[in-house]
Amino acid sequence: MKKMSRRERVLTAVEHKEPDRVPINFGGELCTGIVESIPEGRIYSCLCQSLGFYDRPEPITTEFLNIVVNIDRRVLKKLGSDIVFVLPGAPAARVETDGSKTWDKFFGSF
């Protein structure tokens, strides 16, 4: 079997056909991402340093769960990820005085 592109691999799997290998999803959606909790939990930064990527952009995180949305493409390539995360105009959270976050139209309070 010929080596497939990431796109071919994912589309083949979605069509319930056999790709050249199982598609890998690292950071392609919020539930497969990586977090960067400041100051102690710099998990993404530690991963980048372990892979030798010291010149990466500062991580941008979601307001909910601190998930990194701008994972460096070199990290995705090194880990063999076939899927890339795209965040379409998510609404901003309102941070309450107690530190909780609220999205009025979408999720309610957390």
Distances (CA, A) of 14 to 9, 17, 40: 9, 7, 39
Summarize pLDDT for 41-84 with one digit per residue, the tens. Answer: 789 999 999 999 999 988 888 877 888 888 998 999 999 999 87
Distances (CA, A) of 17 to 2, 22, 38, 92, 97: 14, 11, 42, 39, 51
69 or 1: whose pLDDT is higher?
A: 69
The model scores a pTM over 0.75: no
Summarize pLDDT for 9-51 with one digit per residue, the tens. Answer: 999 999 999 999 999 999 888 788 898 887 677 899 999 999 9
Count of alpha carbons within 13 angstroms of residue 77, beta-carbon side:
4
CB atoms within 10 A of CB 28: 19
Reading the block at residue 32, the tokens are 């497969």
